[in-house]
Amino acid sequence: MSLNQSYDDDNVFAKIIRGELPKVTVHEDDHILIFMDVFPQSEGHMLVISKMAKSVNITDIDPEELSRLIGGVQLASQAAVKALDPDGIRVVQFNGEPAGQTVFHTHFHVIPVYKDQGMKPHGAEAAPTDRLEAMAERIRNGLS
């Protein structure tokens, strides 16, 4: 796939934005959605997506929407630090299939890192919804 591929309105994140697929929301406003990754690499792994930009990756997103998206990444990171007290935060963003992108809707991963816990491979194991809900509640408490 090319970095210049066209946007597919049926990608999984577009369906989540439209409410066609479930999500565990951490934060939502008119421009961004922060939700729990169903295949977390660590406790508190979140995804930050643009609700407005129909962009495939960082090469085609409107700069103003990218700015809002980065603000969401910062918000998610700050909430995770406050709520979960990780040893670090990993922010990951993939562009193009060869780079590891699997959902072709611009998004960022915000992954808390803990010294005493290894990172799981992404997609290895789905987390139970009740566990994701409990984690999202903890992180939402870190937003205030």
Q: Which residues are catalytic?
A: 107
**Cα–Cα distance, 99 to 88 (Å, whole number):** 23
Residues of 86-112 as b/e, b for ≥16 C-beta within 10 angstroms? beebeeebbbbeeeebebbbbbbbbbb
Instruction: Return the residue matching tokens 């922010």.
Output: 91
Residue 127's closest CA among 7, 36, 34?
Answer: 36
